[in-house]
C-alpha cells in the first residue's frame, strides 16, 4: 500500500532536542523550569497578548478562561456553534450553560448578527462569550468585540487552531480578555500536547498559575483554601514547544502554499475553498472546501472521503455543529435563520494539509477528487 497521506501531523526539527537535552542536563525533568518560563515569554512576545501561562492542554487553558470569567452555576455562556467539543465543554466544568450561536459564511465563524440576537434574548444573564477562529481563520472580531463591550461581557478567544493568524495585522489570541492556544499534535506547532492561557491581565495569569498548581497556599506545609488543578506544563514538553515556535512562520508559509495549490487546481470544479476576510491572514492550518449545492447530491463529502481513504489518504468531515451533538441536546441555539453550520457540515470536507506532504502527493489527492466530478 502507498505511504499514507495524513490530514495534519507533527513536523519536528532539531531545536526541540536542544531544549530537551538542556532540561535533562540540568535535571529539570519535573514540571516547570526554564523552558516553561521561556516558552511563556516567547509566546507572549509573538502574540502580543501581554502574559501567558503554559498548560497541559488547550482545553485546560479554556477551562481557566471560563473560571476567570466568573462562570458559575446556571450562568449563560454564548459559544461558537461550529467547533470541536473542547471549545465548549469547559463551560460545563464550571456548571455554566452553553447557548450556541450560529456561524456566518464569510469566515465560517460566529455570526455577529446571531450574537446580537443572543445578547438580546439573554439580556443581563450572559457571563461570557467564547469565540473560535475555525481552522485558523480569524472571525469578525471587531463586530464581536463591539457587542461584548456594549453588553459588558468578557470575550474568551479560542485561538487553539489559529496561532500565527492575524486580523488587521494583529495576532489572534490577543483580542480576548482571556484566550487559549493549543499545541496538540495536529496543530500548526506542537509540544506533543499542551496549551497556553493568554491575557493582558497579569494578575489573572498569576491566578491561573495558582489554580493550575493545585491552588497551594503560600505556606511551608500543604495548605489549600481553594480547589485547584494539575494543569501546568512540564519542562520537557515546553522544550519541544520552544523548538517548534522557531519554525512557526515557516509552517504557516507551507500551509498557505498547500491551500493555494488546492484553490488553483480546483478551478472549474463545483467546489469552494474555506473563505477568509481580505484584511485577515489565516494560518491555513487546515485546507477545506464545500461542494456546490447543485453538485453535492452526485458527489457528496463522504463519497470523496471514502475514495481518498481507499488510497490511504486521510480526510475528515467539517466539524459537526454543537447544537447537533447528542450531549448538548436541549441547549438553545440562536440563528438568523440560515443554518450555516448544518450546511457546511453537510457539504464540507477537510483536505490533507500536512506540511510534509509532497507536491506529488497533493497532486494525487487533487486528481482523485477531480476524477469523481
Please state the domain extents for the chain: 15-245, 248-372
- Which of the four pLDDT bands, split at 50, 70 and 90, describes residue 31? confident
CA distance 11 to 190: 8
DSSP 202: H
**pTM as predicted:** 0.97
Residue by residue, DSSP assigns 105-122 as: TTTSSB-HHHHHHHHHHT
Query: Are 183 and 61 in contact, with CB atoms under 8 Å apart?
Result: no
CA distance 274 to 288: 5
DSSP 230: B
Kindly state the average pLDDT of the residues 191-195: 94
**Number of helical H runs and strand E runs in the chain:** 12, 15
* Helix (H), strand (E) at residue 349: strand 348-350
CA distance 84 to 267: 30
| Mean of the per-residue pLDDT values of the chain | 97
In sequence order, the 6+-apart residues with CB closer than 8 A to the CB of 303 are 372
**15-245 and 248-372 have identical folds:** no
Whether the predicted pLDDT of 30 surpasses 90? no
pLDDT at res. 3: 93
Task: Kindly tell me the sign of the dihedral angle through the C-alpha atoms of 146, 148, 152, 156.
Answer: negative
pLDDT at res. 202: 98
Kindly state the average pLDDT of the residues 191-207: 97
HSE-up (13 A, CA, CB side) for residue 70: 8
Instruction: State residue 25 phi and psi, 5-degree precision.
Output: -65, -30
Whether the predicted pLDDT of 32 surpasses 90? no
Report percent pLDDT > 70 for the chain: 100
Instruction: State residue 97 phi and psi, 5-degree precision.
Output: -120, 120
CA distance 248 to 164: 7
Domain 248-372 has CATH 3.90.1150.10: yes
Instruction: State residue 308 phi and psi, 5-degree precision.
Output: -70, -40
Kindly state the average pLDDT of the residues 362-372: 98
User: What is the dotted CATH code of the domain comprising 15-245?
Assistant: 3.40.640.10
In sequence order, the 6+-apart residues with CB closer than 8 A to the CB of 85 are 322, 325, 327
Query: Are 265 and 366 in contact, with CB atoms under 8 Å apart?
Result: yes
In sequence order, the 6+-apart residues with CB closer than 8 A to the CB of 78 are 99, 101, 115, 118, 119, 122, 126, 128, 129, 130, 153, 334
Nearest to residue 276, comparing CAs of 126, 107, 124, 41? 107
Distance set, CA 72 to CA 77, 156, 182, 231 (Å): 10, 15, 24, 20
Among 30-39, 89-98, 152-161, 321-330, which stretch is predicted with the lowest mean pLDDT? 30-39
HSE-up (13 A, CA, CB side) for residue 173: 33
Nearest to residue 131, comparing CAs of 171, 189, 72, 175? 175
pLDDT at res. 29: 87
Amino acid at each position: 500500500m502507498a505511504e499514507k497521506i495524513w490530514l495534519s501531523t507533527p513536523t519536528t526539527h532539531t531545536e526541540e532536542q536542544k531544549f530537551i537535552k538542556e532540561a535533562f542536563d540540568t535535571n529539570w525533568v519535573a514540571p516547570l523550569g526554564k523552558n516553561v518560563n521561556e516558552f511563556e515569554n516567547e509566546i507572549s512576545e509573538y502574540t502580543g497578548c501581554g502574559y501567558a501561562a503554559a498548560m497541559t492542554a488547550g482545553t485546560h487553558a479554556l477551562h481557566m478562561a471560563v473560571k476567570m470569567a466568573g462562570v458559575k452555576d446556571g450562568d449563560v455562556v454564548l459559544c461558537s456553534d461550529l467547533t470541536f467539543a473542547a471549545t465548549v465543554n469547559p463551560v460545563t466544568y464550571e456548571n455554566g450553560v452553553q447557548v450556541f450561536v450560529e456561524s456566518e459564511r464569510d469566515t465560517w465563524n460566529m455570526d455577529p448578527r446571531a450574537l446580537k440576537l443572543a445578547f438580546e434574548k439573554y439580556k443581563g444573564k450572559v457571563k461570557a462569550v467564547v469565540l473560535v477562529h475555525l481552522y485558523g481563520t480569524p472571525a469578525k472580531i471587531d463586530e464581536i468585540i463591539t457587542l461584548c463591550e456594549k453588553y459588558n461581557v468578557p470575550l474568551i478567544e479560542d485561538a487553539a487552531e489559529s496561532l500565527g493568524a492575524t486580523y488587521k495585522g494583529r495576532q489572534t489570541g490577543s483580542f480576548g480578555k482571556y484566550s487559549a492556544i493549543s499545541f496538540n499534535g495536529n496543530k500548526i506547532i506542537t509540544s506533543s500536547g499542551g496549551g497556553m492561557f493568554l491575557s493582558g491581565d497579569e494578575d489573572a495569569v498569576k491566578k491561573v498559575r495558582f489554580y493550575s498548581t493545585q491552588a497551594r497556599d503560600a505556606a511551608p506545609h500543604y495548605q489549600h483554601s481553594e480547589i485547584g488543578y494539575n494543569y501546568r506544563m512540564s519542562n520537557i514538553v515546553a522544550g519541544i514547544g520552544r523548538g517548534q515556535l522557531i519554525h512557526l512562520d515557516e509552517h504557516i508559509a507551507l500551509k498557505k502554499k498547500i491551500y493555494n495549490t488546492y484553490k488553483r487546481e480546483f478551478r472549474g470544479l463545483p467546489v469552494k475553498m474555506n473563505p477568509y476576510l481580505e484584511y485577515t491572514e489565516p494560518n491555513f492550518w487546515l485546507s477545506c472546501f464545500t461542494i456546490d449545492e447543485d453538485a453535492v447530491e452526485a458527489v457528496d463529502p463522504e463519497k470523496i472521503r471514502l475514495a481518498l481513504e481507499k488510497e490511504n489518504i486521510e480526510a475528515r468531515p467539517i466539524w459537526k455543529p454543537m447544537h447537533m451533538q447528542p450531549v448538548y441536546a436541549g441547549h438553545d441555539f440562536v440563528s438568523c435563520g440560515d443554518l450555516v453550520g448544518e450546511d457546511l457540515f453537510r457539504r464540507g470536507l477537510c483536505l490533507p494539509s500536512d506540511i510534509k506532504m509532497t507536491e506529488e502527493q497533493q497532486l494525487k489527492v487533487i486528481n482523485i477528487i477531480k476524477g469523481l466530478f
